[in-house]
Amino acid sequence: MHSSQLPNSSRGCDLLRTGAGSEVHLNTLQFERGSADQLLDADARAGAGGCVNSLGALVLQNVAMRNCKAVNGGALASEGGLEASKSVFTHNVARHCGGGVDVALRCGERGVNSVSSRLQR
């Protein structure tokens, strides 16, 4: 995805989900007011990542995530690794883990690689 702004989701859940084994690159995007603040029995991922909920590898370049909320990972929840460059996470809130970003890794997976990105409350 390139050069877009994604506004609040009217569904009351994350704005973007990726599947296990995927590799997604996001470039020059703004995510605002995403919300995944409800836990649902029918959807185990419903409360993760107010803007982005990723099970695969995620690469961000020049991405902003602002004013998002979730149960875990206010702006972003990742279970498949994260690389962020020139990205900003501001004013995001989580009820439990990861106010801005929550990264949960399985054994043997790569972790977080952040180059010149900012996390702000």
CB burial string 42-70: b at 16+ within 10 A, e below: eeebbbbbbbbbbbebbbbbbbbbbbbbb
Q: pLDDT-derived band of residue 73, with 50, 70 and 90 as boundaries?
A: confident
- Which of 44-58, 81-95, 96-110 has the least mean pLDDT? 96-110
- Measure the CA–CA gap between 37 and 104, rounded to whole angstroms: 18
Strand partners, 23: 57
Q: pLDDT-derived band of residue 117, with 50, 70 and 90 as boundaries?
A: low
The pTM of the full predicted model, rounded to 2 decimals, is 0.75
